[in-house]
């Protein structure tokens, strides 16, 4: 079987062309469906959920990715769940000063975090296109806060530490 597979691939004889054609056709169909998903579901990029973090929680709304390392560092933080490949900015209305933690992937453009403080621990959020490991933080004043989703490969997870009170209400402002 191995020799037959090697020969069909090398000489591109039957059924090689059928397999290649089928693979290319399926990839084109799936990429078209994914590309048009946002057009079919206009609220896709606007979905945001605010939850208290606990070990094993899905970091993203639309993927089953979770943290594999240093969960104890996230205890007491609030997770802002966004879609994995979100490109929209998130606007939050916060009543007290907060600290925002972002978990970065080396494949993303991380220039916007150059003035953020790097933390002395790492997380491990493993995704198919990006592994988020590096943790940075920044203190943000109360009011309306605009947070970029990250990217371009994948959005960066968002964790919030409420400085003044653990019961602070964080409201998401949806903008188109």
Tell me the domain boundaries of the chain: 2-35, 43-173
User: Is the peptide bond between 152 and the residue preceding it cis, with omega within 30 degrees of 0?
Assistant: yes
State CA 107 to chain mean position distance. Answer: 12
The pLDDT of 13-31, averaged and rounded, is 67
Block residue for tokens 């970091």: 59
State residue 1's pLDDT score: 67
Structure token pair of residue 166: 């653990």
Distance separating alpha carbons of residues 133 and 5, to the nearest angstrom: 40
Block residue for tokens 């959020």: 125
Predicted confidence (pLDDT) per residue in 112-168, tens digit = 999 999 999 999 999 888 999 999 999 999 888 888 888 889 999 999 997 665 555
State residue 86's pLDDT score: 85
Predicted confidence (pLDDT) per residue in 26-66, tens digit = 666 655 555 555 555 554 445 788 889 999 999 998 888 99
The pLDDT of 108-112, averaged and rounded, is 92
The pLDDT of 6-33, averaged and rounded, is 66
pTM above 0.75, yes or no: no
Instruction: From 33, 129, 36, select the one nearest 85 (Cα to Cα).
Output: 129
State residue 92's pLDDT score: 85
Distance separating alpha carbons of residues 84 and 45, to the nearest angstrom: 10
Cβ atoms of 102 and 135 within 8 Å: the answer is: yes
Secondary structure (H, E, C), 5-55: HHHHHHHCCCCHHHHHHHHHHHHHHHHHHHHCHHHHCCCHHHCCEEEECCC
Distance separating alpha carbons of residues 93 and 165, to the nearest angstrom: 15
Which 3 state secondary structure label does DSSP give 83? coil
State residue 45's pLDDT score: 46
State residue 168's pLDDT score: 57
């Amino acid at each position: 079987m191995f020799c037959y597979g090697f020969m069909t691939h090398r000489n591109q004889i039957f059924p090689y062309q059928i397999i290649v054609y089928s693979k290319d056709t399926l990839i084109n169909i799936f990429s078209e469906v994914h590309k048009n998903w946002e057009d079919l579901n206009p609220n896709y990029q606007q979905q945001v959920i605010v939850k208290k973090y606990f070990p094993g929680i899905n970091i993203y709304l639309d993927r089953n990715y979770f943290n594999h390392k240093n969960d104890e560092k996230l205890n007491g933080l609030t997770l802002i769940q966004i879609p994995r490949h979100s490109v929209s900015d998130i606007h939050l209305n916060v009543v007290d000063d907060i600290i925002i933690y972002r978990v970065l992937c080396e494949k993303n453009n991380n220039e916007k975090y150059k003035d953020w403080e790097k933390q002395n621990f790492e997380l491990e959020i493993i995704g198919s296109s990006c592994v988020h490991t590096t943790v940075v933080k920044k203190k943000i004043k109360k009011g309306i806060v605009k947070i970029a989703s990250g990217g371009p490969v994948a959005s960066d997870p968002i964790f919030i530490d409420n400085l003044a009170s653990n019961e602070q209400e964080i409201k998401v402002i949806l903008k188109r």
